Structure formats: structure tokens, C-alpha cells
Amino acid sequence: MTHSSSEGRDHYDVIVIGAGSAGFSAAITAAETNARVALIGWGMIGGTCVNIGCVPSKVMIRAAEALHGARAASRFQGLSGEARIDDWAALMADKDNLVETLRNKKYIDLLADYETVDYIEGKAVLAEGGVMIDERFVGADRTIIATGASPAIPDLQGLSETPYLDSTAALELGALPESLLVMGGGYIGCELAQMFARAGTQVTLVTRSHLLPEAEPEISSALTDYLADENITVRTGLDYVSTRKTEAGVALTISVGGREETLEAGHLLLTTGRRANTAKLGLSDMGIQTHANGAILVDERMRTTRAGVYAAGDVTGQDQFVYMAAYGAKIAARNALNDQSLAYDNAAMPWVVFTDPQVAGVGLSEAQAIKAGHSVKTSIAPLDLVPRALAAHDTRGLIKLVADADSDVLLGAQILAPEGADSIQTMVMALTFGMTAKALGETIFPYLTTVEGLKLAAQGFGKDVSKLSCCAG
């Protein structure tokens, strides 16, 4: 299935630990310079995204959207619709088939195309001048750590005796749960809560602060309302006290304003963040520093605190998106092999939450811009000002732009819209090239598109766009 290193080879130009997106990106980048690469993997090749993260979750989210779309047809006069899950096992098999296809096509089958990359299966431990894999020493002058992250399990009374799901297990359930408690209001919690609710599960979503803490407060508040409209019980601003197993499933005791109450459901799903996979790598023995949460400390060139050792992707704890993992790994490989001074730059990094409406953003939020010392101005365009949303009879959402009040240069944008994910890249380009709000508002956009809302939001800095005719301005 994969080709392994030749038995006689024990020294390489670079060792890459981890065979996920970051690891493959580093290995391929190195191989393109004709470097000899030892790519060391343990467990299922391909890492989080293709196996247990992005790919399987988006299949299930899209399936749930299809269910919801049929039921929401009545928003148009004269229409009605209904959809249901006929065969949960078949749906899960469909998801698994895509995962297997992409794992083979984008990972396993690629190895044969890179003759200078040797894939070695095993658990690597850092050593002087290379790594130990069981009893075998593999040497290299440069090593890149790309071991990813796993679901973080909170330290909570009773949890060790309580059955629970993490995001991986939730996407492998043999039957659709009747009821589900989702603990954690980040992007994974929001996505899976809505997916299961649309599939027919009774869902309660609980979080210590509010949904999507990194999102603009207007977007977090609106998304909370939209989830509630779909009969998801959303509880925010609380503390987790304890969990326990019950005859019917699980119970979670929470504290709200000093008063305790208990919530019950058939299953408990933990979406309380992710933790870097750094245990048993031998980091401390090699003088490699980590953050308090175990993530590896790196500088802008992806260097760790030990010369010759780099790290990239989720194992560093920063920007935990598959495309940023691949980007950081590419920088690490180029810097490691060619002594280049390429710097990691996330100033125009887009991010997406695949709820419905989708949430997408880039750049600074209003609070971040103020903290950075900018004199800030903002513009918010509700989706009921966007003709595309009116035509779709779906005006859920808003667009918020942040700009420097003195220079008019755009600093950030966030979108809450059914097609927000495909609209944010326009703002990535705008921020990358230092566009002003005035210039964005004067740019030609196609009519009856969601992305046209960016033009309207930009115009909103200086005028009341509700008083413009179609395509005016």
C-alpha cells in the first residue's frame, strides 16, 4: 500500500514526524528540492482532516443541509417539502467511502510519485541527531514535527466514569442518537450540534461563555438565535460542575449564577478544544519548549527552541486549520533545507465555520483592531439589504467590516450568511493588497450574489444603503 524506507538507509536530509496534512506538505516540499526525506507516520495515514475531521464532518453537515432544505421549502409561497433519513448506516457508509477515496488519492497513492520520500511506520522519539523508531535509529540534520492534535478532554468531576463522545466518535455512531448534550460552543460544537439536530436528534448545546468566542458579538448573538429557531437549546454563560452516568444515558450538572441544575440526554459530546500530540516525543529531553497546553513553541520561521528542529501544524497550537498546517509546514521545510528566512504570516488568513448560515472571517475583529491601537470604524449590513438573500427568501445573517477610521484601510471582515464561506476570499484579497473601504465600495460586483453584500457593507461606511436602488452606487 505504501513504500517503506530501504533497510540499509539510516540517514536523510530531513525527517518529518507525522503523516497528516502538515507532514505531507513538508515532505513533498522537501522532495521537490531532491532532498531525501523520512516521513514517519503512526496510525491511519492522512491525519485529522481527511480521516476524522473536515471531510467526514462536512459530508454529514451537507446531508443535514439537504434535509433542512427540503423542510424549509415552505418559505416560498406554494411550496412544501419533507425529507428524512431512510438508512443511517448507508449514510455513514457513504461518508466512509469518500474518506477512504480521498485518503488513498491524496495521501497513500501520492507516495509513489516522490521517489526521495521513504515512508516509515512507527512511533518516533527524538534523539541526538535524529529519531528512534522502536530500536531503529534514523538520522538527519533537520527534523520537522507535524504530529497534529487530538480532542482535549476537560478535567471535570465524574467524567472519567461517564461515557462520552468526542468529535471522532460522534461521526462514527452506529445509530442516530435520540438526544445529545454538546459541551463547548466553538466551531466544532456549533457545527455538530446543528447537524445532529437537523438529522432528528434533540440537542442541547452548553458553553461557558458564548457561541464562537472569536466571532464578532453581533454574529455570535445572531447565530445563537438561528440555532434556537431550529429547536436547539442553547445555554451560555455557565460553569460545568460534574457529569455522571444515568440509566437513560448521561447527566451534566451546570452552575448558572451560582445556582446548580442538571441536564440529561442519551449521549454527551465533548467539543471543548484540541490538545497538541506531543506526549512521548521526548521534547523536554531535547530542550524543546512547549506552551502550558503542550503545544510546541515556534518562532515566525517555524523553528523550535532546539536548533535544527522545526514544527508546523496543529502541534504548534496556532491557526488550527488544515490549509494553515500545510502552509506552515511548507515554510518549515524550505527554511530547514535552504536556510531561508521565510516568515509565517497569518494576517490575511480566512476562517470558516460550516454552520448554516455559515460564518467566515479574515483579519481583525473590532475588538482586536482597537486593542492593536487603531482608530476604528465599522459598518454592518444585514442580509435583508442584499438582493440575493431576498430572492432566496432567506435573510438570516449580516456582514460586518472593520476599517481604520483615519486611513480608511480595511482591517477585517466577518460574514454570517448561507453562502458566506465562498464570499470571504474577496476580503482576503482586499486585505492582502491594502484596499480601502471606499475602493471596495466602488468595485464592480455581480448582481444577485452574496458577495455583493461586501460592496453594500463598504458603502455603508458613508451612506444609507437601504436608500440605494439595485446596483446603484
Any binding-site annotation on 187? yes
Any binding-site annotation on 282? no
Cis peptide before 357 (omega within 30 of 0): yes
Q: Phi then psi for 468, rounded to 5 degrees?
A: -95, 150
Q: Write the CB contacts of 320 (distance below 8 Å, at least 6 apart in sequence).
A: 149, 274, 314
Q: What is the residue whose three cell numbers read 431550529?
A: 230
Any binding-site annotation on 186? yes
Amino acid present at 153: I
The answer to whether the CB of 26 falls within 8 A of the CB of 8 is: no
Q: Phi then psi for 13, rounded to 5 degrees?
A: -75, -35
The answer to whether the CB of 313 falls within 8 A of the CB of 145 is: no
Tell me the CA distances in angstroms from 442 to 403, 413, 437, 461, one per residue in order. 16, 17, 9, 12
Any binding-site annotation on 185? yes
Q: Write the CB contacts of 303 (distance below 8 Å, at least 6 apart in sequence).
A: 309, 310, 335
Any binding-site annotation on 314? yes
Any binding-site annotation on 249? no
Any binding-site annotation on 184? yes
Any binding-site annotation on 273? yes
The answer to whether the CB of 396 falls within 8 A of the CB of 357 is: yes
Which residues does the annotation place in the binding site? 58, 184-191, 273, 314
Annotated binding site for FAD: 58, 314
Known binding-site residue numbers for NAD(+): 184-191, 273
